[in-house]
Amino acid sequence: MMESGAHFCNSCGEQVGHDANGEVFVACHECYFPICKACFEYEVNEGRKICLRCATPYADRAKDDDQTTTAAQINVSQDVGLHARHVSTVSTVDSELNDESGNPIWKNRVESWKEKDKKNKKKKSAPKAENEAPIPQEQQMEEIQSSEAAAAEPLSTIIPIPKTRITPYRIVIVVRLIILGLFFHYRVTNPVDSAFGLWLTSIICEIWFAFSWVLDQFPKWYPINRDTFIDRLSARYERPGEPSQLSAVDFFVSTVDPLKEPPLITANTVLSILAVDYPVDKVSCYVSDDGAAMLTFESLVETADFARKWIPFCKKFSIEPRAPEFYFSQKIDYLKDKVQPSFVKERRAMKRDYEEFKVRINALVAKAQKTPDEGWTMQDGTSWPGNNSRDHPGMIQVFLGHSGAHDIEGNELPRLVYVSREKRPGYQHHKKAGAENALVRVSAVLTNAPFILNLDCDHYVNNSKAVREAMCFLMDPVMGRELCYVQFPQRFDGIDRSDRYANRNTVFFDVNMKGLDGIQGPVYVGTGCVFNRQALYGYSPPSMPKLPKSSSCCCCPSKKQTKDVSELYRDAKREELDAAIFNLREMDNYDEYERSMLISQTSFEKTFGLSTVFIESTLMESGGLPESSDPSMLIKEAIHVISCGYEEKTAWGKEIGWIYGSVTEDILTGFKMQCRGWRSVYCMPLRPAFKGSAPINLSDRLHQVLRWALGSVEIFFSRHCPLWYGFAGGRLKWLQRLAYINTIVYPFTSLPLIAYCTLPAICLLTGKFIIPTLSNLASALFLGLFLSIIITSVLELRWSGVTIEALWRNEQFWVIGGVSAHLFAVFQGFLKMLAGVDTNFTVTAKAAEDSEFGELYMIKWTTLLIPPTTLIVINIVGVVAGFSDALNGGYESWGPLFGKVFFAFWVIFHLYPFLKGLMGRQNRTPTIVILWSVLLASVFSLVWVKINPFISRADSSSLSQTCISIDC
């Protein structure tokens, strides 16, 4: 090119051209940076009056016309990338100006932003500044470098817990562990012979409680807080007048039954997603209708139409939250920070439009209450394909998007896609996990965003900048490569102020998750999570540690080696797949035949299924659709990847996507990712990112806890149990493994908890006690144990910011759920493992009543209510019996009574919210619950009196002889 005399623009790639004198056009006479006249005029019009390379101010063009430049002078710059025809393939010199994330000509963008900002300030302060002397080059370079350094700063930072708070906390934990050891030594070496059975039972229960405490406590050893810098994210990836370089995000919303998950709630979730503060061309919302309900489809049609008005209103006035139902129901001054005169008028009009929208949705719901005998019919007269929810074809409908309808102001809208996967009899569909995997494939074919955010249908976007918060981690050039997901805490609306049933789970989200964030990251909790799509595909992180040559240890080589053979095999196959993917990416010019041969050779079909379009999308780390894709065939391909037989003989649900095998697929999915070496991050913005609806009545809350507990039991009995899975390679840290073990063994605490809650009543009814006469040492141990428990809780509250009330509610519901839902989950888990009996769960109804907290006082019959009620009745009977014996026994009986009554009241106080919820607002407790509880308590008391095992044989024989000698 140098020999031919042709010079190419380093911006657009076209020939530089000539000026009016016929000479080669030159913009900068200092470095002769090659740029054509059209690009030069564009730079000047945009306010960029400095050279893109050397930052020298452009000279006056009137003077330039008199200057001439020879071709030899231009040839000096031929080695700086004149062949560049795309911004992403810049020259060697320009690459030195790139930012650390690899974005092209980063310094040039900083210069343009700085120069434009400087130009605006000059217009305001000094209109005649253009006639003044230009700013010295040295000063400009200093300002440019300072701006570049500011924009290149980290997008997030770790805020460690102050040592004054965390150090005493750790010291108390160690001290408590030592006291526990001394306490158990005393308990084991001082048996109670008069009540040996009770003593042994209590020892076993206490040992299990201590083990559970260790599993729960030590993963909180390194708690941290994080802070994000959204302004730096915008400064790095968004420039005025330039396309946004923020990564695209695909939103997943899952729904099943529109009669239990009201369409109005789902519509609000969708509207809040479509109105999120993010570039519209980077947002796509996929709604999975796993029930194939025509009501969901029609409500989504209405939602798409209303979104054309709602989205511009939100963005114009910066509305928060952007779910209309929750925005209009706010009891705050909606005029705060709103200075536009038209705001009040437009708000009233929008509220009126929303009320009409609600009327239309409610009319659809009322119509859907009774299904016609011939099934539903669409507006064109054809039958609805999903009339049989268990036997229907796959359905996809794109409502909005780049080629769809625009908003009322003519602006582009995010894409909204309705998806209902195919279902046929005889196929296993895997419930929610299967629906999520179908959305992964559909989105990969249609949009293929590099990141995925999944939400439950009742969790709306409460913070419009939530996606930007997540991108501060995922788009970080250093941290983002190792992250599989960013988890947000769950926050809820519509809960009573006292949070009677601990729906907020504050202790878990504000204490446990912060602790895990300091190790390898929080666990995945099912909603409000932004995924790295590559991690969902089963790939390992770029810096995955290499597997050791021998997985055996020095202590037991043969046993360890045989144990990890299957794991090593899977890791080896995964490494082969990663290597094949790398080789495929390195091939610049390969035709369809070579691609198909390589795909077949590396067994991609066996992993991802028989879709070449989808497989090709998995190779694109930065997302986007392949250039070879045919837009007219994408919908057909998307229908193919959601067919009911697509996952057969593939790795879906086993190694990639949402993992099958448990009703709590969230825990299992996150666990598999972190076993591969991925990290996760916990993001807690000041304004909660997402908010949802919680089942606040007692029955629904217990059923929700039952479902979670059963999922943990299923994982415990599966091959993915953290007790033995994923040891090869050491990619899961030990404290992280303890946390996962805790998530699967906590339901089994219900067995010792039931026994321990029954012991106080037994002691009161029999006059026996599980603790012998206390010595000075024993008293000190008991006092030290109680003090360490209290101090640990106080210090935990201090560094986490959780209130005492939240901690107490969590403690109460731990007992309530443990003696009811967790107990049933354990038995159902054993039934499923031994007899193959599977339990089907219905979706928890989460729609509130007309009155505030209307569901709080609703009581629905369920067998889960019987065990806690029985415990309350037994302990109340025991307290009455204990006081009666003390009154009859005299002064000496009151001392031992204190210890027995203390534990009985401990049980009653913990079950008090359950008792209050059981009674309801007007004492409308189901009669069947009272009858069963009283019956069980009476039978237990009578049987205990009849076969009292704590009376010795000698005492029983003498007692029988005494009874015989009595003349009745």
Active-site residue set: 290, 666
H or E segment to which residue 211 belongs: helix 196-217
Answer for the pair 281, 411: CB distance below 8 angstroms, yes or no.
no
Q: Please, is 211 exposed, middle or buried when counting C-beta atoms within 10 Å of its C-beta (0-12, 13-18, 19+)?
A: middle
Residues 6+ apart with CB under 8 A from 599: 584, 605, 612, 615
Measure Cα distances from 537 to 440, 493, 579, 615, 671 in Å: 9, 34, 15, 10, 14
Nearest to 403 by CA among 394, 393, 415, 392: 415
Tokens representing 751 are 């067995």
Q: Which residues are annotated as a binding site for Mn(2+)?
A: 432, 456
Environment class of 950 (CB within 10 Å of its CB; exposed 0-12, middle 13-18, buried 19+): middle
Cβ atoms of 659 and 433 closer than 8 Å: yes
Torsion angle of the four alpha carbons 302, 305, 310, 313, in this order, in degrees rounded to the nearest 10: -160
Q: What is the residue type of 369?
A: Q
Smallest CA-to-CA distance from 513 within 216, 747, 157, 812 is with 216
Q: Measured over all CA atoms, what is the biggest interatomic distance in the chain, rounded to whole angstroms?
A: 139
CB of 607 closer than 8 Å to CB of 576: no
Query: Which DSSP category does 412 fall into?
Result: -
Binding site residue list for UDP-alpha-D-glucose: 254, 260-261, 290, 431
**Distance separating the N- and C-terminal Cα atoms of the chain:** 126
Both tokens of residue 581? 């993917």
The whole-angstrom separation of Cα 165 and Cα 168 is 6
- Long-range CB pairs of 378-381, under 8 A, 24+ apart, other chains included: 378/294
Q: Which residue in 301, 280, 277 sits closest to 289, CA to CA?
A: 301
* Torsions phi, psi for 899 (to 5 deg): -65, -40
* Single-letter amino acid, residue 122: K
**Residues with Cβ < 8 Å from 347, sequence gap 6 or more?**
317, 334
Residues at the binding site are 254, 260-261, 290, 431-432, 456
Q: Which residue has the tokens 């943990």?
A: 712
Q: Classify strands 529-532 and 451-456 as parallel, antiparallel or unpaired.
A: antiparallel
Secondary structure class of 681 (helix, strand, coil): strand
